[in-house]
Amino acid sequence: MTYRLYASEWHLTPTTTTEIFAIYPIAVVSVLILFGGLSDQIGRRATMLLGLSASFLGALILALAHDIAWLFLARAFMGVGVGLSAGPSTAALVEFNQSGAPRRASVVATAAQAAGFAAALIIGGALTQYAPWPLHLVFWLLALLIAALVPLTWFLPLPAERGAAGGWTPSLPSVPQRARKAFVVAAFAVITAYTHGVIILSLGGQIAHDLVQSPNTLVNGSILAVFAIMSGVVSLLGKTLSTRTAMIAGSAASAAGMVLLALATALHGMTLFLSATALTGAGYSLLFLGALELINRATPGDRRGGTLSALYLLGYLAAGILAPILGRVATVHGLGFAVYLGAGVIAALSFATLTLALGLRRNAKDERR
């Protein structure tokens, strides 16, 4: 919710603000390429601690930022942190789950992302609008939250650690032969889901501002939070759906949401925009939930961290490519045209994911769960 304030105070174009957004997924991708399988070698806990340390530095630099160079550096550190911790934390949810059910771990991962997303938009919007130091206070709070996670992570159980007997060697994240077909379907689902974030995170604040005609960041953040809230609710309600059904429903909701988003932009319709964010939130949740469960079921435990890292790599790579493109289009041709282009790309990805999901085999055991 601070992007618009940065743009106003430092006279930044949409191209620059989306580049600030894009440096984050680019950093994530770079880390995943080099260290995607790290947690399979040195353990989940150790890798997550490294990630939290990088994220803390990123939040601290954001809290102290006084020009655009600081923003790029901070976003890079945040990307390094997420690149190191996203895959291991998702794998740990499966391994620390006593029932061993991948579905429960997938639901928790999806709901946790939704809760963090909603809190960032609503609490961040409130602090940015009403608290002092609107470009800094919210990041001091984020730094404190990350710092609090470090000792909690330190005391995670150790039985699933894999690095006690050996060291680390650099390696690309890889996918086991037996899981590659499932990985292709999951990859399309995650790419589709993560590209939603490009519009919601990098351009959403400006879209909400233009439609609502409100300079209040809490109001605009709350509107965008409909995406995250719907994502969390659907992840809990959708836990009884099969993986195949979740992906099909998620693809359909995503495509429909993009149509509504284009209409909302063209007609300046607030109701259409809220409907679009709700549908895309549901689509994101079901796609991400289905992708995680598909991978968790298809991948052996000793390769799960690297495979999940490869999945996140593709999702963040797609976001990192699309964000600066849409930012440049918004600068040259206007915000509306950028939204139409982004909605069209995501709708096409949704239909591709739908086609692949329809090809998944029905699994009786999976259907019952």
Is residue 170 in a domain?
A: no
Q: Sign (positive/negative) of CA torsion 31, 225, 150, 90?
A: negative
Number of domains making up the chain? 1
Is residue 167 in a domain?
A: no
Residue closest to 197 by CA, chosen among 146, 233, 231, 245: 231
Is residue 183 in a domain?
A: yes
Cβ neighbourhood burial of 5 (10 Å; 0-12, 13-18, 19+) = middle
Residues 6+ apart with CB under 8 A from 360: 185, 243, 244, 247, 294
Is residue 166 in a domain?
A: no
Helix residue ranges per DSSP H, the chain: 3-10, 14-35, 38-42, 44-64, 68-95, 102-130, 137-154, 180-197, 204-212, 217-237, 243-267, 270-298, 304-333, 335-358, 364-368
Residue closest to 42 by CA, chosen among 115, 91, 3: 91
pLDDT of residue 267: 86
Taking only the tens of pLDDT, the chain with its 369 residues reads 787 788 888 888 878 887 888 888 889 888 888 887 788 788 889 999 999 999 999 999 999 998 899 999 999 999 999 989 988 888 888 777 766 566 777 788 878 888 888 888 899 889 988 989 988 999 999 999 999 999 999 988 765 444 444 555 666 667 887 888 889 999 999 999 989 877 876 677 677 777 667 778 888 888 888 888 998 899 888 878 888 999 999 999 999 999 999 998 888 888 888 899 899 999 999 998 899 889 888 887 777 777 888 888 898 888 888 888 988 898 888 888 999 999 999 999 999 999 999 988 764 344 444
The one-letter amino acid code at 277 reads T
Is residue 20 in a domain?
A: yes
pLDDT of residue 58: 96
Domain extent for 317: 7-155+175-368
CATH number at residue 19: 1.20.1250.20
pLDDT of residue 168: 58
Q: Any idea which residue has 């069209």 for tokens?
A: 344
Is residue 168 in a domain?
A: no
Rounded distance between C-alpha atoms, residue 346 and residue 196, angstroms: 7
Rounded distance between C-alpha atoms, residue 133 and residue 231, angstroms: 30
The one-letter amino acid code at 235 reads S
Is residue 145 in a domain?
A: yes
Q: Would you tell me how many other CB atoms lie within 10 Å of the CB of residue 290?
A: 32
pLDDT of residue 106: 76
Is residue 150 in a domain?
A: yes
